[in-house]
Amino acid sequence: WVDSQIHPLVAKCVVRDILDVIDPNDRGYFRRSREERFGMSLEEIVASREETRNLLKRTLFPVRKVLELNPFLGGTQASFADYSVFGAMMWARITSSFDILEEHDPITDWRERMLDLYDGLARKETARG
């Protein structure tokens, strides 16, 4: 579900920003391959990222419902499900300044809890975007 539903939406939100943080030698290939995959320029892809964020919000509905009842998807502790979804959140966080979540979304609070795990290890990863 994360690979087939979440990652494509996150990619559409941050793909242009990724270009700015990767090695300059890789930028030509990255642009060509992503534009071929999406059938449009990187700039065209992210031009509709507000709409894509809204679609992501709807797609994350099951996550939001679980988090209304528990601090983590795995219940009282983070589980594989938490790390799977969180991986997509971290990908966006370290490659783009565009926040794929809205400020008052319950998933934002969960993301903050995930960032704090292991003495804030994930928080120490520098956001490059």
Ordered by where they begin, the domains of the chain are: 2-124 (1.20.1050.10)
Q: DSSP character for 126? A: P
Mean pLDDT of 70-77: 96
| Whether the Cβ atoms of residue 59 and residue 23 lie closer than 8 Å to each other | no
Which amino acid would we find at residue 34?
A: R
Res. 127 pLDDT band, cuts 50 70 90:
low
Provide the phi-psi class of 13: left if phi over 0, else alpha when psi is between -120 and 50, else beta: alpha
**How many CB atoms sit inside 10 A of residue 79's CB?**
12
Which sign does the torsion angle of CA 111, 6, 61, 39 carry?
Answer: positive
The pTM is what?
A: 0.90
Q: What percent of the chain has pLDDT over 70?
A: 98
Which amino acid would we find at residue 89?
A: M
Q: Which residues contact 3 (CB under 8 A, 6 or more apart)?
A: none
